[in-house]
Structure 1
């Protein structure tokens, strides 16, 4: 259906409230700006609408990942020649929460990252940025070896009984499901690496051990969760919005992965 009028801060805020977002919520957002249609003010208007609904006691969280800051030996899209690997590791700029832009997270997430008073976690590959009352609590700690676990921003959102909002994207982009992966019994682990800024601004290459992140079955998992009726679904702008409790999602996902992922892999 053709869009008949522009979306605005006011109309988007009304849509979000109708979906169930309320003042004081902690919400982890995944979004596709294009799916929202024409918005007067673009991504700035989208972020302002979210902040207007959440109010001074609410908190907006977004993924600000930098997956390109990784070991080039594992790059597949596209790969680079092995002869380049050592120089990339030696010369890639160190991750800087204040300066390093996110990659492939969307323009809304990048707008939040650069918003006045936004704070960002320190993980060089899967950082999150946050605005609002609980921002420091959520992103203040992000260990290298626990990128999606209990000590990460995902774990902090879980402890705060936060919510997940998908705007124009599906569960394949639902980062919170990685927290369910970390809760599996003996989940597979691998070694990761990235360039970071150390003390006094000195760049260094670090490696660490982490739970393997695998999104290949998240769409099926999400469809099963949707079928429980626990997700509020409605129109936000031209996009389909999905709002859910992160605790309910992760608890369901933990059980679903235990019952289904091993069966698929065996």
Structure 2
């Protein structure tokens, strides 16, 4: 056993009440619908961890507000496109035959952080039906946001993103950058974009369908220009930088930006989630 003492935790010390107050000061409004992309680590040392963060978000939104988070499960995809890490080609058929299908109550999130996973399991939370790009919501508008998420529409017109746009929802980037901003993907469905054949498990066996190909490539640059040209409310919560803006503003700006800065033409035969 090492005699080297463990380093002290890094601050600041963040509490539920303090974080809720900071979120309100940063612009979160009671009663609104808020799509949150988040990093627990960015906040500092949170007393109560992700549970305290979710409680603080719900406190800031109040009983009439609705909290929405991405609960993606991109690992429910074709092993042929896996790269982080890849698996041997000889495993592909077995993986396709035995991978459990999506279950909104059981399938864990992947790659979106511990805060969305906590929301997914929150009492009363609802989760949308798409097996790879679902969203979870808590609050009075949860069903409106999550219902009707089509199997062949990851982040387009028949997804929660379009419902959030219609509801006048806003995005909160809590300690993360614009590369996490899923709202930009809705714009990909409204400008010419390639199609992809996407494989995934289903209750009746392996299924392949055609979807719009999505990518967060250059979203950081897109976000930089968006913040330069459109009103974005910046603040702090704990040690994290916060950014608040309407979903509709982000989508509209991306619709004009993407065809100029990231033209994409033609179809591809096989593709998975990002």
Residues 3 and 238, structure 1, Cα contact 8 Å, conserved in 2: no
Q: Which residue of 2 aligns with 1:247?
A: 248
Q: CA deviation at 1:229?
A: 4.5
User: 5 Å matches for 1:93-242?
Assistant: 93-184=100-191, 186-197=192-203, 204-242=205-243
Q: Distance in 2 between matches of 1:205 and 1:58?
A: 38
SS in 1 for 2:69: strand
Q: CA deviation at 1:263?
A: 8.9
Structure 1, unmatched stretches of 5+, are: 198-202
SS in 1 for 2:45: coil
Residues 12 and 238, structure 2, Cα contact 8 Å, conserved in 1: no
Q: Which residue of 1 aligns with 2:271?
A: none
Q: Does 2:90 match 1:83?
A: yes
RMSD between superposed Cα atoms in Å: 1.7
Q: Distance in 2 between matches of 1:248 and 1:209?
A: 28
Candidates 51, 59, 73, aligned match of 1:52: 59
Q: Distance in 2 between matches of 1:77 and 1:28?
A: 27
Q: Distance in 2 between matches of 1:263 and 1:132?
A: 38
Structure 2, unmatched stretches of 5+, are: 1-8, 267-274
Residues 11 and 45, structure 2, Cα contact 8 Å, conserved in 1: no
Q: Distance in 2 between matches of 1:216 and 1:114?
A: 30
Residues 12 and 239, structure 2, Cα contact 8 Å, conserved in 1: no
Query: For this pair of structures, how many residues does the alignment match?
Result: 258
Q: Report the TM-score, using the length of structure 2 for normalisation.
A: 0.91
SS in 1 for 2:51: helix
Q: CA deviation at 1:4?
A: 6.0
Q: Distance in 2 between matches of 1:83 and 1:35?
A: 40
Residues 133 and 154, structure 2, Cα contact 8 Å, conserved in 1: yes
Q: Distance in 2 between matches of 1:99 and 1:11?
A: 32
What do the CA deviations read for 1:180-232 (whole angstroms, capped 9, x no partner)? Answer: 11110x311111111133xxxxx522221111111111000000011125111
Residues 127 and 134, structure 2, Cα contact 8 Å, conserved in 1: yes
What do the CA deviations read for 1:59-97 (whole angstroms, capped 9, x no partner)? Answer: 111111011110011111111111111100000011100
SS in 2 for 1:129: strand
Q: Which residue of 1 aligns with 2:3?
A: none
Q: Which residue of 2 aligns with 1:63?
A: 70
Q: CA deviation at 1:145?
A: 1.3
Q: Distance in 2 between matches of 1:54 and 1:263?
A: 39
Q: CA deviation at 1:264?
A: 11
Q: Distance in 1 between matches of 2:230 and 2:144?
A: 31
Q: Which residue of 2 aligns with 1:200?
A: none
Residues 11 and 44, structure 2, Cα contact 8 Å, conserved in 1: no
Residues 263 and 227 (structure 1 numbering): CA distance in 2 closer, same or farther, change over 3 Å?
A: farther
Residues 72 and 228 (structure 1 numbering): CA distance in 2 closer, same or farther, change over 3 Å?
A: same
Residues 101 and 110, structure 1, Cα contact 8 Å, conserved in 2: yes
Residues 23 and 89 (structure 1 numbering): CA distance in 2 closer, same or farther, change over 3 Å?
A: same
Q: CA deviation at 1:3?
A: 6.0
Q: Distance in 1 between matches of 2:225 and 2:49?
A: 33
